[in-house]
Amino acid sequence: GESVGLHLPTLSVQEGDNSIINCAYSNSASDYFIWYKQESGKGPQFIIDIRSNMDKRQGQRVTVLLNKTVKHLSLQIAATQPGDSAVYFCAEKFADSNYQLIWGAGTKLIIKP
């Protein structure tokens, strides 16, 4: 995709504060969205997902918000910890696809002590 060649945007957050990572998606017909966390040198790991018929979903210390009107997805991490330092990717699945995820560019989250 177009985002593959771009440098990752960075978000710096104070330890203990809440982090909000944003993502704009491309297809209004997408029916599934997912957030992944990738630590340095490792493969991405699932954090949380949400279907298009929902606006909000909560997990342990994480919340995903979906605004279909403006095609915007966000990941909120409560009480950010040093272990949250990673690159975070959003991805969408088009409703007419059973196989592929369309990936966002990623955001690097840096935790300041």
Q: Which residues bind other proteins (CB under 8 A)?
A: 1, 3-8, 32, 34, 41-46, 49, 89, 93, 98-101, 103-106
Q: Cβ of residue 108: shortest distance to other proteins, in angstroms? A: 8
Q: How far apart are CA 61 and CA 75, in angstroms?
A: 10
Nearer to other proteins, 83 or 99 (CB): 99
Which tokens belong to 52? 């298009």
Nearer to other proteins, 75 or 105 (CB): 105
Q: Cβ of residue 98: shortest distance to other proteins, in angstroms? A: 8
Contacts of residue 19, defined as CB under 8 A and 6 or more positions apart, other chains included, come to 11, 13, 75, 76, 77, 80, 84, 109
Q: How far apart are CA 86 and CA 35, in angstroms?
A: 12
Nearer to other proteins, 65 or 101 (CB): 101
**Phi and psi torsions of 39, nearest 5°:** -85, 160
Q: Cβ of residue 79: shortest distance to other proteins, in angstroms? A: 26
Nearer to other proteins, 1 or 59 (CB): 1
Q: Cβ of residue 83: shortest distance to other proteins, in angstroms? A: 18
* Residue whose pair of structure tokens reads 């440098």 in the numeric block: 7
